[in-house]
Chains A and B, each alone.
Chain A
Amino acid sequence: MARAKTGTGRLRTRTAAVALASCAMAAGLTATTAQAAQAAEANEHCVLDVSTRNHTCHETLAEARQQGRRIADTTGELIGATVFEDAEYGGSSLTITVPEPCPKNDKVDFWLDLDDYWQNRISSVQAWSTCWVWLYPDSGDRAGPYKENHPDVGSYINDRTVTVGLS
């Protein structure tokens, strides 16, 4: 979806703003509507850490991913997926970090219930590490797995995702 915004946001840490529904290999996450209100102000590039519940936002995707560094090790977390508001990885983004590569155990290992801002908004996704991305609409059906970088999630699920799963 298209949305015209200006990048005026500053780095924020929102440690307490995310509720972790479960832990370790089956994590469910819910962000608050307060985040949604802030995110609506401008394109934001946020990182949601499954393990620590930290939720930080940045002005650019590059800042979000590298935390200001050209190269980065992954002590603590590594990127499992990034979802985007617009096709071809445009608009706001949400990078989901996981404590380990997805173990490929025929299960969805991480669940992310999207907040009001991100619901019905995802148009493109990138699968990182060994993770595959599943997109769930409100109907309970699902689309995926998205195993690579996908500039367009397809008309069936475009702007309809309410839950993201990583397997």
Chain B
Amino acid sequence: MKSRNRLAVGLSAAALAMTGLAAPASATTEAEPTVRQLLEQCENGNTDLCEFHPSGAPETRRGSYELVGGATNCSEGTSTRIISWQSTRGTTTNVSVTISAGVTLGEVFEAGFETSYERQWSWSTTKSDEIRHELGPNQAVNIYAAPMRQQVTGTYELHFGDPYYGHYYWYVHDVTVDGPQENPAWQTRVESKTANC
């Protein structure tokens, strides 16, 4: 995504041509900003350009199985149950700044993902389903479900109109965003256990 004013950046670049990319020496002695500080600059609209560039194809994998439901048969006979379950999974990241739907960093990531792979990013997914299961006497089952997920690692590129920590341009590398696939296939697992009747 080009969340930016490209014209402004271009003009700024022309002005920089003779002076290099770093700000004047007086500004270059400052300490390096943190990942959080840099990403917050993008989030707060303090950058001329803020883009996300992935480092490769998304990695897909089966997500973790989580308990989504269960049933117990405390009778002395066999019982057929329809076990309904619902589960929602969201997106996680490896940074301490929120990257999600509705915030600038999320929009930048989403746009970068969509132009990069020509498909939409899915911030969360919810699945509702039911399982028909025959329970023996004093038997219980737990239902676990796991969706397919995808993980993207890449770089946030930031351009500043005025030097930030002495520089006009910064990169935040190795930002990983992990979320469900769009319309993911879910896998369920039924585990028997002793009924606590």
Please give the residue numbers on chain A whose beta carbons come within 8 Å of chain B beta carbons, in ascending order. Answer: 61-62, 65-66, 69-79, 82, 88-90, 99-104, 126, 128-130, 147-151
B174 lies within 8 A of A62 (CB): yes
Per-residue 0/1 for B137-172: is the Cβ within 8 Å of any A Cβ (1 yes, 0 no)? Answer: 000000000000000010101010000011111111
In the A-B complex, list the 4 residue pairs whose CB atoms are closest, starting with the nearest. Answer: A101-B13, A73-B167, A74-B169, A149-B116
Per-residue 0/1 for B35-60: is the Cβ within 8 Å of any A Cβ (1 yes, 0 no)? Answer: 10010000000000101011111000
The smallest beta-carbon distance between A3 and chain B, in angstroms, is 15
Q: In which size bucket is the chain B interface?
A: 35 or more
B7: interface (CB < 8 Å): yes
Collect the chain B residues with CB atoms within 8 Å of residue A88's CB.
Answer: 56-57, 117
The smallest beta-carbon distance between A4 and chain B, in angstroms, is 15
B115: interface (CB < 8 Å): yes
B197: interface (CB < 8 Å): no
The residue on A at minimum CB distance from B169 is A74
B56 lies within 8 A of A66 (CB): no
A103 lies within 8 A of B13 (CB): yes
The residue on A at minimum CB distance from B113 is A149
Given A71-B38, A79-B171, A130-B13: 7 more A-B contacts, CB < 8 Å: A62-B153, A72-B173, A73-B22, A74-B170, A75-B20, A89-B116, A150-B115
A100 lies within 8 A of B54 (CB): no
Collect the chain B residues with CB atoms within 8 Å of residue A72's CB.
Answer: 170-171, 173
Collect the chain A residues with CB atoms within 8 Å of residue B57's CB.
Answer: 88-90
Choice from A61, A62, A82, A151 contacting B118 with Cβ under 8 Å: A151
CA–CA, A89 and B9, complex, Å: 26
Collect the chain A residues with CB atoms within 8 Å of residue B38's CB.
Answer: 71
CA–CA, A82 and B171, complex, Å: 15
Q: Can you list 12 A-B contacts (CB < 8 A)? A: A65-B55, A65-B155, A72-B173, A74-B169, A76-B20, A82-B53, A89-B56, A101-B12, A103-B17, A104-B6, A130-B6, A149-B54
A151 lies within 8 A of B32 (CB): no
Collect the chain B residues with CB atoms within 8 Å of residue A65's CB.
Answer: 55, 155, 171, 173
Given the known inter-chain contacts A89-B57, A102-B10, A149-B112, please indicate yes or no for A71 contacting B118, CB distance below 8 A: no
B2: interface (CB < 8 Å): yes
A70 lies within 8 A of B170 (CB): no
CA–CA, A149 and B115, complex, Å: 6
B82: interface (CB < 8 Å): no
CA–CA, A65 and B166, complex, Å: 20
Which among A71, A126, A147, A151 has the greatest number of chain B C-beta atoms within 10 A? A71
Given the known inter-chain contacts A70-B35, A74-B171, please indicate yes or no for A126 contacting B53, CB distance below 8 A: yes
CA–CA, A72 and B116, complex, Å: 23
* Interface members, chain B 10-32 (any A CB < 8 Å): 10, 12-14, 16-17, 20-22, 32
B115 lies within 8 A of A71 (CB): no
B90: interface (CB < 8 Å): no
B173 lies within 8 A of A66 (CB): yes
